């Protein structure tokens, strides 16, 4: 464990020294060297250009003799990245792993993967299908996702390795001690259909256009239905979720999640 920690710390420091030129950053989350965050820019001349992509990194106890575990935190429209979970299909994270690989070189490989998809070995079959059948539509959607989820991400400070900020909008409204927050609570309580049960969520129908928007922007269908049941139009719910850069429940990081109350406040403010 001590040798692993020494290597990981050195790799983080080396990456930080070179971050000005490489634009690749690796930072700690607190004091735990098993849980890291990586960040890199989208490759130029690709639908991901202009975006900053954040990756959750898990360093196993036997690193570097076991592969790193990585998952996109930033939502990505790509055949080899799950649009639902952020899981990545990349050979060096599995059978092709080598102890000579480092945190930085693995992130560079992820960056290269964005502009060199492998649709015949997909992580997301639906995205791969679009990539193979309609490349223009794929590029358009990938560019939209980059603009919505990856544009304007904060740059981490090399002087604060334990404080990497999440990819969320600085304009997100926050709860206050009264006013809108109280109105939000009242709205939830006043709505007799505020929490539809699971069977209702599955059977509730939405217009084809709304369903297409949910799929295009990678939103949570159950979330749209839940707020629709409170009396908000699906179009408004979708707009607010996109504006807030809402992260679905599969993102296992409380710092990146937006509470339902905050979504509700934004809905009330935009009515």
Point out the residues that are catalytic.
89
Q: What is the DSSP letter of 87?
A: B
Phi, psi (degrees; rounded to nearest 5) at 5: -60, -40
Report the alpha-carbon distance of residue 200 to residue 202 in Å, rounded: 5
Q: Are 134 and 125 in contact (CB under 8 A)?
A: no
Count how many residues are written for the chain. 271
Q: How many CB atoms lie within 10 A of CB 46?
A: 18
Element housing 202 (H / E)? helix 198-203
Q: How far apart are CA 138 and CA 105, in angstroms?
A: 27
**Cα torsion 247, 209, 261, 143: sign:** positive
CA angle 47, 50, 56 (to 5 degrees): 90
Please give the structure tokens belonging to residue 159.
């002087």
86 token code pair: 């952020």
**Residue 142 CB-density burial (10 A; 0-12 exposed, 13-18 middle, 19+ buried):** buried
């Amino acid at each position: 464990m001590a040798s692993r920690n020494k290597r990981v710390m050195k790799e983080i420091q080396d990456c930080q020294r070179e971050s000005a030129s490489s634009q690749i950053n690796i930072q700690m989350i607190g004091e735990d060297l098993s849980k890291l965050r990586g960040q890199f820019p989208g490759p130029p001349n690709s639908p991901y250009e202009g975006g900053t992509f954040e990756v959750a990194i898990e360093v196993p106890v036997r690193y570097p003799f076991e592969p790193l575990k990585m998952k996109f935190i930033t939502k990505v429209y790509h055949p080899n990245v799950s649009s639902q979970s952020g899981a990545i299909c990349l050979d060096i994270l599995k059978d092709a792993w080598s102890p000579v690989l480092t945190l930085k070189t693995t992130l560079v490989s992820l960056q290269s993967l964005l502009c060199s998809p492998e649709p015949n070995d997909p992580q997301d079959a639906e995205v791969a299908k679009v990539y193979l059948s309609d490349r223009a539509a794929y590029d358009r959607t990938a560019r939209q996702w980059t603009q919505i989820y990856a544009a304007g991400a904060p740059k981490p400070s090399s002087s604060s390795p334990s404080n990497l900020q999440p990819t969320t909008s600085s304009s997100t409204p926050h709860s206050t001690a009264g006013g809108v927050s109280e109105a939000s609570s009242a709205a939830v309580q006043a709505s007799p259909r505020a929490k539809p049960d699971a069977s209702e969520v599955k059977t509730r129908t939405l217009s084809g256009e709304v369903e297409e928007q949910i799929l295009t922007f990678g939103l949570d269908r159950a979330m749209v239905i839940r707020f629709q049941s409170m009396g908000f139009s699906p179009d408004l719910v979708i707009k607010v979720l996109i504006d807030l850069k809402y992260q679905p429940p599969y993102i296992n990081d409380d710092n990146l999640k937006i509470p339902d109350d905050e979504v509700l406040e934004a809905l009330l403010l935009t009515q």
